[in-house]
Structure 1
């Protein structure tokens, strides 16, 4: 697509959302605007299965509002889709026609299978998982998908959701034992023909949508969790059951004040969790994993990259996108630092006093690609700002712990400063992480020193070690290495403390 900006509108059964995506001049993508309006469309169906006229009027008002926001941003293309509430409405054709006539927007009414496919695409492009079940509990439907080797195997959509189940069975948002039993019986009856749901036990259950995000926010608020992100957050079944039983008897007006729970989710969270728990048991899953991306993200990838919407390397794409969003650092220099850092790692990692984990190379690869993005805020304090940007950006493909590790490696300037930097995240880190950060952070500093002039003078580097010395023989294009040599010498004491080797940069002897 040639358009620089793209609007995605998701007309869900519970809420209507807008996301405006921008492609920057150098090819990065980011969300520049977004909006959410509660709609509860699935709770506004009359006895004949028709969406009520006043709700259609409200929908048209929201669509006009979103169209104006997109116009303000000079959005080149708007893609609007509708899910269960409109899909199942007896007057769906009338709704689509009125929105086109009165708001000027064409609505794609997604089938349950299409909804599941786009949800899967949003998830698989933002989480580094190879297999599992994906669940999306909406207001009027629930989609379940099985994927293996990052490929969708099977999916199904059921006409049960947190809004319609609350409407039928909940009393002021609460579920009595009898109502809970009826809800689970309804789910069991609805899914009885899908025998394949029980065929692959022992996989994670990955949740997208408001119910699972609300669960994670409640759990994080209760635990005073240090990391400001629900995406890629793990919750055990026992913890989910505990929170469900805490929330179940509380009426909506009091539940509004429950820490971490948004008001527009308070009356339907219990029914949503009841559905979630039932499927967890049915699938014999191992744990819950929260995905912050979903249908809108999948629609973005499908629209922007129609020939290859699925990313093979989640972390690689995310790193490239983040670096392109902060292009102040010279790209040739960043590539040189990354190349040298990975060469040093390959040689030095077997020699480390502490055995480095298998993922350490990915941490260093990521950190060396992003170490100077903070210069987009302020060059003189770029290390501090790089730490903040890495921790607070959607760096997909890393766990929360790994994001802190990468941020600390990228901005490493010594152990004392490191302790201050990671203090608020210590509960996420393991005992050995301080040493991992020190080893990899010092190694990255050496790679940076080897291109201090940012001229990529070192074409090839030969690395040897003997008698406590790390000999770095540089083949150059004739450029002097006086600055690089001085930088390596200045770093040598700290490097020796970490690696028990003193680096020395020289030209080869011929």
Structure 2
């Protein structure tokens, strides 16, 4: 299979973004290029509702630049879409014609409904969540959607976003009390036209887009959060109120120095957070969850998987994709260890009740334990920990990612403690003991294919008194290598599980 690349260009109301996705020869998908240019298109609309000639000229220049990047990256399939700023412009047909003729791109003009649908698909394919509200506060529009059982039920697009709200309600980057009251009245009146927003109390509010990511980064900086990822980051509902008050009171020169806030968001974060707070109140939501995926990801899934863009199992897809990105380990050995680890887990969990999600953690760890060999075989456990923590392992919370990484890289309790030392505030007091238990189980599964020849093809497990009997039902040799490895591990396994593993003769 040859490498395949697709470029996605998102012409937003605040910024223009390019992302290039690649399908590798092993079938994995990854982002290989990303570029962003500020545009503030929603602020370039004149009194007649037309996007200015200057803004269109700038947009043509940006798209030509992005096309050149795609060409250098051997990316000849490009999908470009435009959202609220062009959608709402009175001269939108002229804009699209100029982009076609002068930039050489046929741009799809998304409706508010389509924008919400693509954003939902990008989110739901990257998170393990069943029910909630989804909000995307853009530069010129805000989409709110309701989903249950991973299905989109309702959505609405409002014609306001952080750029046009800043233009209407802020003066030199500041929002006084009367302006805030006017903004709140304007937004609440819009919500009042959609009564379903207030009829689903207690669901989480999943936030995507630039305002959401900025909110997550600021909150993490404020709390010295050690995990370098805002995706799937929960925030208590009171946090937006306190951050909003602190940021609104600061003049622009001081706001620029606020920890975690990027310079291009200095004047937009206040109206963005103002709306985000009102949405949470209007939805009567339980908390915020920041999602790092959205519109561009949804466009990618519909472009690459045209028949079935909705993933059935987010975590399984993510694990398999990460394995395919690091194909150096022998795949038959990895699959054999995975199957054996799950057999051991199912047998021993009958004796030792484990957390409900721990089976998923064991499954992921036993697939990923050796990806670090793509960096260096001799220290692959350490590198596996790093790769798992710093890759996009979707479908897990930050704490769960750390647990999976620690199980996959397990060598000893002290080594696990060292790996996790920087992340202590994210973990529960019982997590280290759980990692010790599941990490030791994974080591036994690895020992049972130490020859990496899958010699032990079928087995039966039986826990009797203090022994865990491993009876071969089908084997291609006498399993001498595996038996020595199991014997060497027996004492450590017994200390953790209370069973001495015994690999019986054929």
| Superposed pair shares fold, TM > 0.5 | yes
Partners of 1:192 and 1:238 in 2: how far apart?
A: 23
Match status 1:156 vs 2:156: yes
SS where residue 182 of structure 2 aligns?
Answer: helix
- For the Cα contact (< 8 Å) 2:232–2:291, is it kept in 1? yes
Q: Deviations over 1:76-127 (max 9, x none)?
A: 3000000000000111111111111111111101000000000000000001
- For the Cα contact (< 8 Å) 2:478–2:505, is it kept in 1? no
Q: Deviations over 1:220-263 (max 9, x none)?
A: 00110010000000011111111111101112222111000000
Hey, what does 2:218 align to over in structure 1? 218
Hey, what does 1:8 align to over in structure 2? 8
Hey, what does 1:397 align to over in structure 2? 395
1:423 aligns with one of 421, 424, 429: 421
- For the Cα contact (< 8 Å) 1:438–1:498, is it kept in 2? yes
- 481-490 or 463-472, larger mean C-alpha shift: 463-472
- For the Cα contact (< 8 Å) 1:172–1:251, is it kept in 2? no
Partners of 1:67 and 1:465 in 2: how far apart?
A: 63
Hey, what does 2:258 align to over in structure 1? 258
Match status 1:455 vs 2:432: no
Partners of 1:362 and 1:348 in 2: how far apart?
A: 15
Q: Could you tell me the TM-score, scaled by structure 1's length?
A: 0.98
SS where residue 220 of structure 1 aligns?
Answer: helix
- For the Cα contact (< 8 Å) 1:3–1:75, is it kept in 2? no
Shift of 1:3: 7.4
Unaligned 5+ runs, structure 1: none
Unaligned 5+ runs, structure 2: none
Hey, what does 1:313 align to over in structure 2? 313
- For the Cα contact (< 8 Å) 2:385–2:408, is it kept in 1? yes
- For the Cα contact (< 8 Å) 1:7–1:18, is it kept in 2? yes
1:476-487 equivalences under 5 Å are 476-487=474-485
- For the Cα contact (< 8 Å) 1:489–1:503, is it kept in 2? yes
Shift of 1:192: 2.4
Shift of 1:288: 0.3
SS where residue 349 of structure 2 aligns?
Answer: helix
SS where residue 472 of structure 2 aligns?
Answer: strand
1:20-419 equivalences under 5 Å are 20-352=20-352, 355-419=353-417
- For the Cα contact (< 8 Å) 1:3–1:76, is it kept in 2? no
Q: Deviations over 1:122-177 (max 9, x none)?
A: 00000100010000000000000000100000101000100100101112222211
SS where residue 34 of structure 2 aligns?
Answer: strand
Aligned length in residues: 506
Shift of 1:395: 0.2
Shift of 1:418: 1.1
Match status 1:489 vs 2:487: yes
- For the Cα contact (< 8 Å) 1:3–1:77, is it kept in 2? no
SS where residue 234 of structure 2 aligns?
Answer: strand
- For the Cα contact (< 8 Å) 1:373–1:386, is it kept in 2? yes
- 46-55 or 172-181, larger mean C-alpha shift: 172-181
- For the Cα contact (< 8 Å) 2:118–2:295, is it kept in 1? yes
- For the Cα contact (< 8 Å) 1:334–1:369, is it kept in 2? yes
Shift of 1:436: 0.4
Hey, what does 1:506 align to over in structure 2? 504
Q: Deviations over 1:26-83 (max 9, x none)?
A: 1110000000111100001111111111111110111011000100111130000000
Q: Deviations over 1:400-424 (max 9, x none)?
A: 0000000000000001111111100
- What is the alpha-carbon root mean square deviation over aligned residues? 1.1
Partners of 2:463 and 2:284 in 1: how far apart?
A: 52
- 492-501 or 361-370, larger mean C-alpha shift: 492-501
Shift of 1:286: 0.4
Partners of 2:43 and 2:224 in 1: how far apart?
A: 34
Partners of 2:235 and 2:468 in 1: how far apart?
A: 45
Shift of 1:190: 2.3
SS where residue 350 of structure 1 aligns?
Answer: coil
- For the Cα contact (< 8 Å) 1:119–1:294, is it kept in 2? yes
Q: Could you tell me the TM-score, scaled by structure 2's length?
A: 0.99
Q: Deviations over 1:336-375 (max 9, x none)?
A: 00000000000111223xx310101000000001000001
- For the Cα contact (< 8 Å) 2:457–2:476, is it kept in 1? no
SS where residue 507 of structure 1 aligns?
Answer: coil
Partners of 2:241 and 2:10 in 1: how far apart?
A: 30
Partners of 1:3 and 1:440 in 2: how far apart?
A: 37
- 477-486 or 382-391, larger mean C-alpha shift: 477-486
SS where residue 5 of structure 1 aligns?
Answer: strand
Shift of 1:449: 0.4
Partners of 1:188 and 1:416 in 2: how far apart?
A: 54
